[in-house]
Amino acid sequence: MKLLAQELPSPKAIQETPAPGNNQDPLIARGLQKEQYIGIIGLAIALVAAVGFFSRRVEYAIMFAIFLSALLIGFFLLV
């Protein structure tokens, strides 16, 4: 109960100080978005092709779902 009664510090008092002179964090991958999108699209195409090898109906269902999803995403982003 004591925690609820305590006063919180003001947001101005809480500040993050960046490390001096270290703007390049080696753990953050910068500039790889294009390659990631290409890889994801390639994996999606390979998945549809692999499923289509076994069942043509399931392949058509997956392609229809992807097309409908893209259409709905575009519609909701523009509205």
User: What's the pLDDT score for residue 28?
Assistant: 73
Q: Which DSSP symbol is given to 3?
A: H
Q: How far apart are CA 47 and CA 76, in angstroms?
A: 27
Structure-token pair, residue 50: 């692999």
Residue 67: pLDDT band with limits 50, 70, 90? very high
Q: How far is CA 6 from CA 1, 3, 9, 13, in A?
A: 9, 5, 10, 16
pLDDT at 52: 82
pLDDT at 42 (0 to 100): 93
pLDDT digits (tens, 9 = 90+) for 18-45: 666 656 777 777 777 888 889 988 998 8
- Cβ(66)–Cβ(41) under 8 Å? no
